[in-house]
């Protein structure tokens, strides 16, 4: 089974490259399942029903997110009714939405996607390690993909080792900077610390660079806006053995817009 993971989709440029390239990539690479992080897809912060529909329409099967998922109030219109849209599972009880999706691919393979959020340099939330333990206790053995949305690389690496052999894939998101540490861990879990950003690379992690430089130089508040140039699709391609549920390969991706 081939799984395509798409790193943080930023603004209109990120959505555009997904819309333009994903159908071709899925056909050429015979992709069975696609996961994309969407928390910055609407104007660089948050998600709306319309942008979610656009990404699902482009061919993404499940959307994960993170700390910006509720930045656009319109998301409350669909967060409870759209099972393919996830927010971190370790948010407090009673928070709208869900952190886990389970279903099947078109080929009949059972898949679960879990969304977690780290706690180091992030807003307070419940322990992601204990949360994932609780979720895994309720699941039968199957292909399981985990998005660990976190700031600290150490926390993401720790989660990879913690889940090695218990899930098929652990990938990190949030920093918008791709890491070069893709690997198959000893017990068969594919891991990468951060998929990177799907969006414009001519700014500062997706934001117009002049706005960011002014914030650094003068310290005055600025409303950040997405940049627009040098658009790339970043992520990873993972192959998973459908009998053992272990990953057999992981390839880091950075594809420039044509």
User: 217 in helix, strand or coil?
Assistant: helix
Q: Which two tokens stand for residue 90?
A: 């370790």
Encoded tokens for 34: 């696609």
* Nearest partner of 120 among 159, 171, 64, judged by Cα: 159
CA geometry: angle 167, 179, 133, nearest 5 deg? 25
Tokens of 59: 């061919």
Q: Is 134 a catalytic residue?
A: no
Task: Tell me if residue 253 falls in helix, strand or coil.
Answer: strand
Q: What are phi and psi of 158, to 5 degrees?
A: -60, -40
Nearest CA to 47 out of 23, 18, 83, 12 is that of 12
Q: Distance between CA atoms of 224 and 216, rounded to whole angstroms?
A: 13
Alpha helices (runs of H) in the chain, residue ranges in sequence order: 11-29, 49-58, 128-137, 153-163, 209-218
Catalytic choice (68, 149, 174, 176) = 68
Distance CA(183)–CA(123), nearest Å, equals 29
Residues annotated as part of the active site: 68
């Amino acid at each position: 089974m081939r799984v395509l993971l798409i790193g943080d989709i930023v603004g209109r440029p990120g959505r555009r490259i997904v819309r333009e390239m994903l159908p071709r990539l899925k056909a050429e690479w015979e992709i069975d399942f696609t996961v994309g992080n969407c928390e910055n897809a609407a104007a660089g912060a948050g998600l709306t029903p319309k942008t979610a529909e656009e990404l699902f329409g482009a061919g993404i099967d499940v959307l994960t997110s993170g700390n910006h998922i509720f930045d656009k109030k319109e998301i409350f219109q669909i967060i409870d009714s759209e099972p393919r849209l996830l927010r971190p599972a370790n948010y407090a009880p009673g928070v709208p939405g869900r952190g886990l999706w389970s279903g099947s691919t078109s080929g009949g393979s059972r898949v679960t996607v879990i969304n977690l959020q780290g706690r180091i340099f992030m807003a307070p939330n419940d322990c992601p390690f204990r949360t994932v333990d609780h979720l895994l206790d309720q699941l039968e053995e199957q292909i399981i993909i985990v998005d660990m949305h976190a700031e600290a690389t150490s926390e993401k690496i720790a989660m990879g080792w913690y889940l090695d052999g218990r899930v098929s894939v652990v990938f990190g998101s949030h920093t918008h900077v791709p890491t070069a540490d893709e690997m198959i861990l000893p017990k068969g879990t594919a891991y990468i610390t951060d998929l990177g950003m799907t969006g414009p690379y001519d700014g500062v992690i997706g934001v117009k660079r002049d706005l960011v430089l002014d914030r650094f130089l003068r310290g005055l508040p600025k409303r950040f806006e997405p940049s627009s140039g040098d658009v790339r699709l970043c992520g990873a391609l993972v192959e998973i053995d459908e009998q053992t549920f272990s990953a057999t390969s992981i390839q880091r991706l950075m594809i420039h817009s044509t």
